[in-house]
Chain A
Amino acid sequence: MTMTDQTSIASTGPAAAADALVIRDLDLAYRVRGKDRQVLRGVSLRIGRGEAYGLVGESGCGKSTAALAAVRYLPRNGRVRSGSILVDGRDLFKLGGADLRHLRANTVSMVYQDPGRALNPSIRVGRQVAEIFVLKGMPQAEAFRRAAEMLRRVQIADPTSVMERYPHQLSGGMQQRVAIAMALSINPRLLILDEPTTGLDATVEAEVLDLVAKLRGEYETSVLFISHNLAVIARMCDRVGVLYAGTLVEEGTTAEVFANPRHPYTVGLLRCLPRRGRRKDHGRLDTIPGFLPTPGAVIPGCVFAERCGLATDRCHQEAPPLHDLGGRSSRCHYHEKASELPRTTPPDLSAQAVVSREGQPVLRVEKLNKSFGTAQHLVQALRDVSLELWPGETLGLVGESGSGKTTFARVLMGLTGPDAGATLELDGKPLAGRVKERTNEALKSLQIVFQNPDSALNRSHTIRRLIDRSLRKLTNLPSAARLDRLIALTRAVRLADRYLAARPRQLSGGLKQRVAIARAFAGDPRIVVCDEPTSALDVSVQAAILNLLAELQSERKVSYVFISHDLGTVRYLSDRIAVLYLGRLMEIGPAERVFSGPHHPYTEALLSAVPTIDGTAPERVRLKGEIPSAINPPSGCVFHTRCPRQLGEVCRSQEPPLLPGAEPGHFIRCHIPVTGLAVDRRELKSAQGAAE
């Protein structure tokens, strides 16, 4: 219920239909240790009624701050220096306490990352949803009824039992649905979503996004969608704004901006992404040189000039205005030439695939099982996994939570021992199950790069010590030779010498990960396990690391086990791919084959869940239900409970064997033969439909 207000502005339509959100020249800073650090500079945007607007940028660009500003929930040291925000025509900063609460209770809602933390752990879910209705003056019973109705709308099957539970008893996807239910129950004018699916599994993410898209249609709510993931924005939003260092550098419809970007930053960002079908031997990914400016830095000219390949003196001195390009805008002096941005990294084909399949595989794993827990509560994290890895090859390992891919990495590294009966062979020689029992040769041949460099590098040691220690333990070199080796390693990972004396906290995420890679390569390993090595990094930095890994592989013929939930990067780097579900190997084969099909029904669903920038995703395969718990896995084929191609009794009772797929080296664990899997789902459905 909007209240007319003197300060409401007339937008493009009649006065009654005020824009959902108008931000005008917003300048926002945080006061840190007595000094103002500017986070948003002159940001202006407008979201009309029923529109979905995406705000995209890397970490530290200020997008979350913008979101919180729009609900006026800034931390104590947040300061609005100038500018205004109008929500549904009302000036946000002029509202008194009661009016602000009224606005929050009726007009604006927010859903953000990590739904587990967004819900109060000590209050039952039902009560948390119902209290919104109680606030409107409804009696308890009525409020609970409405709450149950709302939960049904977000596709929660059994609302009354869910309402009885506490948040920690629900899965991540379920928690986020509850949060969405709470947000939409007030039928808001504006719904703000701040990275709502980051951290959720791919299939769950797809479900949540589907839900948001559907509800948006039903409620006619305007949406402000904030994410670092360009593909998700492309999927969900009509228009997009690109934020860099607190400044809006480009704006327009998603289709136009992503197909034909008009700002060097957007161009660079899009080039960093491994696009559909690109692989490491097609050429390197482009990167954006330099680092984000430190917030609060006073930048006279264009904020992006430091890192821009097109920058001239004018760019460094004169801040560009927002050029209106008719329906879109760009903050660049040379916006017409944006697509001519020179590449930072030459696209040369030095990263040739170097797999050699003669002789013996560098790694052989047979009948690997791993269980945790006691006899009563046995969790089988890995079951009967067998695979091979050849020299120079990258094996991509994909799966969602509970798939066992992290456990696999740990067992491979020897950090935890496999169950009895497993065979592990490194270069033909048996590999001990535990690290302590492994030979020195094995230790230096099998190394790992962890996901989080903050955790993987000892923060009390200098970079030099971190790498040198590995050299000392993994090689027998005398100290002079070791020093040479150290320098060679830092050169190989493009780490400047001046960082050697620094400590990890002084380096950015990308640099720290380079150190971790240098350390892994200290002993000239045969295999390096990469456990989500780029997940914690920004898009522009990811590309550099992927390039580095590809390069090192082609130089040294090292093999990778590449674990990631990001199918784009897996596809870019991998020669072969293995798909895990609840600890079982569902499919394994050459990367292109696994991606293009025919493939396992789970793989099919997984691939359809991943949004792409150009919007050319295959038809969405919707999986029923949630990922089952590993404590009580389904009988027969573990995927049968959610499988859209389920055959019936045979799938429920018998676990399928690995059957040959579409080419040699391709295997699929499914009762349906590969010829059946090749049949398009749509034809299958219509055939079924006709039969009924």
Chain B
Amino acid sequence: MSTPQMDMAEARKADSLKSARYERLRLLARSWTFMAGLIIVLFWVGCALFGSALVPQDPFNGDLLNTLAAPSADNWFGTDQLGRDVFSRVIVGARDILTVAPLATILGTILGTTLGLITGYFRGLVDESVSRVIDAILALPLVIIALMALVALGTSNTTVVIVIGVFFAPIVARTVRSAVLSERELDYVAAAQLRGENAFYIMFAEILPNVIPPILVESTVRLGYAIFTVATLSFIGFGIQPPSPDWGLAVSESYGLINGGYWWTVMFDACAIASLVVGVNLVADGIQGALES
């Protein structure tokens, strides 16, 4: 059985004798979309970590005599309706969202991976019933489920992390499950069973290392959606709570002012959100591309 793909495969094998990982990193570095995304993300992470030390003005207490001032040399992004410097608020606003979203993602990934491994490996009744429940949960969009849960549990950063994390788990589980299903067909799983390995070992020591690439891709994509969801929830009042300078919250507090022409109270926060989500997704896309090749 011979195809030009095979001739090319031989050509590629020559490359794989060097470290494959090194090749992938080089490929990533050459992708300008990945690098652009990485720079944006690193910038905002920096703001989240060091922002409060470096901002020119106090993001929480405004000068009530200087409300709704247009952007100028004193206030690069202008001031909002409480006289707070918008620039400082935008910088510090990165902190909450970059705490809540990654935590939720990590929670979701861990839960989801475990769930996916178990349902994918055992199949049968366990898998069927869990899949039904997952389908039911996923019939509703996250925002709405989150709404319902947060009405019941009360809204705080912790509950938001838990709600989003728990909701992400089935989505991650689905991806992990399908990856596990295809791994399971491979003979090394049978070989492990024929050695007398128990299920726990097979799932975590044999199968898991091979499904890490899709898990990695999925979790970076989930991070993008986590940021998306936290921002949206903050916008409708069920996310990050005042007095945080969080961007979604700031937009919800000020968007009525657009009509009056006070665009700066909203525009910069909106762009900050946009840049962060796009950045994260460019990174996710880059990773996916590198792992596929």
Please report A residues at the B interface, Cβ cutoff 8 Å. 30, 32-33, 37, 39, 57, 59-65, 68, 74-75, 78, 113, 194-195, 198-199, 226, 228, 292, 294-297, 413-415, 435, 438, 440, 443, 447-448, 450, 452, 455-461, 469-470, 473-474, 505-506, 519
Contact = CB atoms under 8 A, between A and B. Distances in A.
B60 interface: no
Contact of B4 (A74, A228, A461, A473): A74
Interface centre among B1, B12, B193, B209 (most CB of A within 10 A): B1
B117 to A, nearest CB: 15
Interface residues of B, number: 31
A194 B12 CA distance: 23
23 contacts: A30-B7, A32-B15, A59-B2, A59-B6, A60-B2, A60-B7, A62-B7, A63-B2, A74-B4, A78-B4, A113-B3, A195-B1, A228-B2, A294-B11, A294-B14, A296-B11, A413-B194, A415-B194, A443-B194, A448-B191, A458-B209, A459-B210, A469-B195
Contact of A473 (B2, B8, B12, B197): B197
A2 to B, nearest CB: 28
B8 A32 contact: yes
Contacts of A64: 2-4, 6-7
Contacts of A63: 2
A519 B188 CA distance: 11
Interface centre among B187, B196, B197 (most CB of A within 10 A): B187
B71 to A, nearest CB: 46
Contact of B10 (A74, A198, A294): A294
B209 A435 contact: no
Given A59-B2, A458-B206, A32 B11 contact: yes
A68 B4 CA distance: 8
B73 interface: no
A455 B7 contact: no
Contact of A61 (B2, B3, B196, B197): B2
B277 to A, nearest CB: 31
B17 interface: yes
B16 interface: yes
Given A37-B11, A296-B11, A460-B210, A65 B193 contact: no
Interface string B9-31: 11111111100100000000000
B186 interface: yes
B148 interface: no
Interface in B172-223: 186-188, 190-197, 206, 209-210
A415 B191 CA distance: 10
Given A32-B11, A295-B10, A456-B188, A440 B196 contact: yes
B14 to A, nearest CB: 4
A438 B197 CA distance: 12
Contacts of B11: 30, 32, 37, 39, 294-296
A458 to B, nearest CB: 4
7 closest Cβ pairs, A-B complex: A460-B209, A294-B14, A60-B10, A456-B187, A37-B11, A473-B195, A450-B187
Contacts of B14: 37, 294-297
A147 B207 CA distance: 50
Contacts of A438: 196
B194 A295 contact: no
A446 B232 CA distance: 59
Interface of B: 1-4, 6-17, 20, 186-188, 190-197, 206, 209-210
Interface centre among B2, B6, B17, B20 (most CB of A within 10 A): B2
Contact of A506 (B7, B16, B197): B16
B123 to A, nearest CB: 14
A68 B2 CA distance: 12
A505 B195 contact: no
Contact of B1 (A39, A74, A199): A199
A448 B194 contact: yes
Contacts of B16: 505-506
Nearest to A38: B11
Contacts of A456: 186-188, 191
Contacts of B193: 415, 435
B27 to A, nearest CB: 9
A519 B191 contact: yes
A65 B14 CA distance: 19
A198 B210 CA distance: 31
Contacts of B190: 413, 415, 448, 450
Given A199-B1, A448-B194, A469-B195, A292 B7 contact: no
Contacts of A57: 2
Which DSSP category, helix, strand, loop or mixed, fits chain B's interface?
helix
Contacts of A459: 210
B196 A443 contact: yes
A60 B4 CA distance: 8
A75 B8 CA distance: 10
A283 B137 CA distance: 66
Given A30-B11, A435-B193, A473-B196, 19 more contacts: A32-B11, A57-B2, A59-B2, A64-B2, A64-B3, A65-B4, A75-B4, A195-B1, A199-B1, A294-B11, A294-B14, A295-B11, A443-B196, A450-B191, A455-B187, A457-B188, A460-B209, A470-B195, A505-B20
Contacts of A61: 2, 7
A296 B12 CA distance: 10
A506 B187 contact: no
Contacts of B9: 60
A49 to B, nearest CB: 27
A590 B6 CA distance: 39
Contacts of A505: 13, 16, 20
A458 B210 contact: yes
A435 B194 contact: yes
B33 to A, nearest CB: 18
Interface centre among A195, A294, A443, A458 (most CB of B within 10 A): A458
Given A415-B193, A443-B194, A505-B16, A195 B2 contact: yes
A458 B207 CA distance: 8
B196 to A, nearest CB: 5
B22 to A, nearest CB: 13
Contacts of B197: 473
A615 to B, nearest CB: 24
B190 to A, nearest CB: 6
B188 A30 contact: no
Given A447-B194, A469-B195, A294 B13 contact: yes
A288 B6 CA distance: 21
A304 to B, nearest CB: 16
Contacts of A443: 194-196
Contacts of A68: 4
Contact of A292 (B10, B191, B196): B10
A39 B20 CA distance: 23
Contacts of A455: 186-188
A619 to B, nearest CB: 30
Nearest to A535: B1
A60 B10 CA distance: 6
Contacts of A447: 194
A74 B5 CA distance: 11
B8 A30 contact: yes
B4 A32 contact: no
B187 to A, nearest CB: 4
Contacts of B17: 506
Nearest to A415: B190
A450 B190 CA distance: 10
A468 to B, nearest CB: 12
B69 to A, nearest CB: 54
A226 B194 contact: no
A505 B18 CA distance: 11
A414 B6 CA distance: 35
Contacts of B210: 458-460
Contacts of B2: 57, 59-61, 63-64, 194-195, 226, 228
Contacts of B12: 32
B142 to A, nearest CB: 33
